[in-house]
Structure 1
Amino acid sequence: MLDDIDKRLLAELQQNAQLTSQELSERLNLSASQIGRRRQRLEADGLIRAYGAKLDAERLGLAVQAFVQVQMTRHGAEAARDFSRLIALQPEVVSAWTLTGEADYLLRVYCADLSALHRLIHEVLLAHTTVARVQSQIVMNQFKQDAPLPI
């Protein structure tokens, strides 16, 4: 069970994962050793899965962000495994979800340009034997950046 201090600690780490135990102790009014033990417990319990940096896609040359909906021709464990393996090999696909409704999958992709997106859709996704239909939406502007989880 998470107490209020755990929740505050997680919120602080979501904002800045580089905060030291000393800095967190000052913000949460606990000793650095208590913060360290709590952080280790939250990591061991799987609440903190990883630490990472948020990168600027455009400055890295990834000018096109898109959401791609994929509809499959057939469903089943083997088709899902095959498609999952295909997606795992595509570095442009930064996240993927299975869905209810008309589309079976939703992919979030970053590409250098529209030609790269076109190649991904036509030469990779539509070329897969179980993909029936692909629909993409190109992001014009992301006015709210990926936010921390509401704790």
Structure 2
Amino acid sequence: MKQVELDKLDRRILAALQQDGRISNQLLAEQVGLSPAACWRRVRTLEETGVIQGYSARVDPQLMGQGLCVLVNLSLQRHNIDSTAEIEQQVSSYPEVLQCFAVTGTADFVLRVIVPDMASYDRFLNEKIFTLKGISQVNSNFALREIKNTETIPVEGLE
């Protein structure tokens, strides 16, 4: 994937939208020093090129009764394209899995899983993870507290 060239105004727009995705175009234009029409065109281009992938609301998992965060390391028995693709497809379909990374090191995948409680996590393991073909080891790390959780990509200083 080719990197998109961003100028200073594009970076200002991205910084502002990452802070407040619901900001009006008028206010955004004022903040970055553009006319509303020029600002709208730039935002539209950032969306069309895939730099801006979408907009969403951040939801507090604790208030939603999803207070247990688990980082799950999965190791595979064998590494081949078919088994890896099947595991990736299955894991991606589980709503409890918020993120899945193929990684280097002692594990092959790291999942970030959110569930209500330990009993729910036990069910998740038994009904979903342990039924996956080709898994040799599962290691669970329970988050004690959240220190930082952001999706804000640093845009200032990129040249």
Give the TM-score category using the shorter length.
over 0.9
Listed as ranges, the matches of 1:66-145 within 5 Å are: 66-145=70-149
Residues in 2 aligned to 1:128 and 1:145: alpha-carbon distance in whole angstroms? 29
The corresponding residue for 2:34 is 30
TM-score (norm 2): 0.91
Residues in 2 aligned to 1:75 and 1:126: alpha-carbon distance in whole angstroms? 18
The corresponding residue for 1:40 is 44
Tell me, yes or no, if the aligned pair for 2:92 and 2:100 is still in contact at 8 Å: no
Residues in 2 aligned to 1:11 and 1:45: alpha-carbon distance in whole angstroms? 17
Gaps of 5+ in 1: none
Residues in 1 aligned to 2:149 and 2:95: alpha-carbon distance in whole angstroms? 21
The corresponding residue for 1:13 is 17
Q: CA RMSD in A?
A: 1.0
Gaps of 5+ in 2: none
The sequence identity of aligned pairs, in percent, is 29
- What displacement does 1:121 show? 1.9
Residues in 1 aligned to 2:90 and 2:62: alpha-carbon distance in whole angstroms? 25
**More divergent stretch after superposition (139-148 vs 70-79):** 139-148
**Runs of 4+ off more than 3 Å:** none
Tell me, yes or no, if the aligned pair for 1:98 and 1:105 is still in contact at 8 Å: yes
SS in 1 for 2:132: coil
